[in-house]
Structure 1
């Protein structure tokens, strides 16, 4: 399974594409959110923090789905690996796997086997970085709007 260099290459390229798209989505999302919150005229400035939290959660959900779709697409080609599960796996199972991986909760009832593990490992690192980035952004926005 690991000797198939074409499958390994496809997984690496798909992983690079997913990470780049995830970072771009997060960057543009936070940039748009920061500008939008600054322009918003609200009688309760602390409410802007609440809007920011919901928006950041939406960004993370989009990114989880992005990685989940990448898992699903790669699993269509058996050479890239498979998921070990007590039951059969489908599309939403790859989204679930992505959520568990992105949030660094870890594997439970689903675990990747084969070259696709590279995507899962890289997704965990990317998710950790995106969550940390969001926490930093939220902290800065709270400093800007909380005490007004």
Structure 2
């Protein structure tokens, strides 16, 4: 398979996994919020739950970069002095949050995964913000 096609399939798989994970997190947080009586706890649990979901999603993409680079040869995230997966997690956090990068730069077909993660991260963060807003609006009306 062409490296670009492999990277596109890889990106679709990573995004799909993260979207399902995020959706299930939101469903569980909504169910939990209906059972809690104190909106202070509901808000704290919601924010912490969403932050945890985002961290897990960043790690999923970080692992994806590591696998794409190490086992599929889809490019590199440079400069990497060593093949350390944690550098890929750091790179993933910079891309997911759309902070940008400068010390680590993608080369090769792995750039397809990078651009897809930036779009997914922006969408998932926005989804979390919308969920939090709607939940707080509902809680503060009580």
Same fold (TM over 0.5): yes
Which structure 2 residues correspond to residues 70-85 of structure 1 after superposition, within 5 A? 70-77=64-71, 79-85=73-79
In the aligned structure 2, how far is the partner of 1:113 from the partner of 1:121?
12
Structure-2 residue corresponding to 1:50: 44
Instruction: Give unpaired runs (5+ residues) of structure 1.
Output: none
Helix, strand or coil: the match of 2:82? coil
> Aligned match of 1:33 in 29, 54, 58?
29
Structure-2 residue corresponding to 1:95: 89
With the length of structure 1 as denominator, give the TM-score of the two structures.
Answer: 0.89
In the aligned structure 1, how far is the partner of 2:76 from the partner of 2:12?
20
In the aligned structure 2, how far is the partner of 1:55 from the partner of 1:80?
33
> Aligned match of 2:11 in 11, 15, 24?
15
> Aligned match of 2:132 in 130, 134, 138?
138
In the aligned structure 1, how far is the partner of 2:29 from the partner of 2:58?
19
* Structure 1 residue ranges, 4+ long, deviating more than 3 angstroms after superposition: 86-89
Deviation string, structure 1 residues 22-58 (Cα, Å, up to 9, x no partner):
100001110111111111233xx22211110000000
Deviation string, structure 1 residues 76-120 (Cα, Å, up to 9, x no partner):
146411111264341000000000000000112111111000000
In the aligned structure 1, how far is the partner of 2:92 from the partner of 2:65?
8
User: RCO greater where, 1 or 2, for CA within 8 Å and sep 6 or more?
Assistant: 1
Instruction: Give unpaired runs (5+ residues) of structure 2.
Output: none
Length, aligned pairs only? 142
Structure-2 residue corresponding to 1:68: 62
